[in-house]
Homo-oligomer: A and B are copies of this chain.
Amino acid sequence: MGDADSGLTVKDRHAAVYIELRQRICLLDYPPGAQLSEIALAGEFGTSRTPMRRVLARLEEEGLVQSVHGVGTIVTDADITELEQAYRLRVELTGLTGQLDPVAPDTVFLTQLQGLIDRAAQMIVSGTPRSFTELDMDVFQTLLHLTANEPLRQVLERLYYQTKRLWLVKAIKAEVDLQEEYGIFLHELQAIRIALESGDLMAVAQIQRAHISMSFNRLRKQSAI
């Protein structure tokens, strides 16, 4: 946390804390069941409990933590049966990104995408569940720019971070075929690039939609064992 508050407003600092905590939860630095201390977090981020409680309240609304009076603030469990509804909604909403306010990519975007594809190729050689999840988050944030519909982006972001922990939990328990996952992901990105170069944003959305749906089915198959 290099305090580089150069020109940053206070509101931005709070948003940064929120994003940081969300990252820690979704990367399982704070695993399900972990207890977050308001005082400790306030000390770490150089503030007091009052602003920290606002951040935690937002995390609670997103369903990532749960605060109980007298007990503590606990990281919620990533249960596949409870998150199935969210996952299926995410599938459908991803399909809408090519329909509602699609944004044609510029050359900068295509360059970024190529960088992400290169990182995905590197995953096959030396990838860990954690580094793969970090890459997946970057890809998500990048592809989110393909729609200008702000409410849709907000909902998709919410659903993404609600459901993303499922994969990493299973991956750490060695219940997924990592090499298969890496290969499928690289293939998806290449397909997206092809669709993008042909200017077919509807196709891009459908490719994402299909892969999210298939990814969920693989997770369900693994949990049925």
Contact residues of A with B, CB < 8 Å? 10, 54, 57-58, 61, 69, 85-86, 88-89, 92-93, 96, 99-101, 148-152, 155, 159, 162
Q: Which B residue sits closest to A82, measured CB to CB?
A: B150
Instruction: Name, among A89, A93, A101, A148, the residue most crowded by chain B CB atoms within 10 Å (CB to CB).
Output: A89
For A87, the closest partner residue in chain B by CB is: B151
A96 to B54, CA, bound (A): 33
A92 touching B99 by the CB < 8 A rule? Answer: yes
A57-B57, A151-B159, A155-B155 known; A92+B85 contact, CB < 8 A: no
Copies in the complex: 2
CA distance A150 to B148 in the complex (A): 25
A86 pairs with B159, CB closer than 8 A: no
Q: B101, A85: Cβ atoms under 8 Å?
A: yes
Residue among A69, A85, A99 with the highest chain B CB neighbour number at 10 A: A85
Please judge, given known A-B contacts A92-B96, A96-B92, A100-B92, whether A86 and B151 are in contact too, CB under 8 Å. Answer: yes
A96: nearest chain-B partner, CB-CB: B92
B57 touches A152 (CB 8 A): no
By beta carbon, the residue of chain B nearest A63 is B151
On chain B, the residues within 8 Å of A101 by CB distance are: 85
A54-B57, A155-B155 known; A149-B88 Cβ under 8 A: yes
Cα-based distance from A148 to B152 in the complex (angstroms): 21
Q: How far is the CB of A207 from chain B (nearest CB, A)?
A: 19
Query: Do A151 and B89 touch (CB < 8 A)?
Result: yes
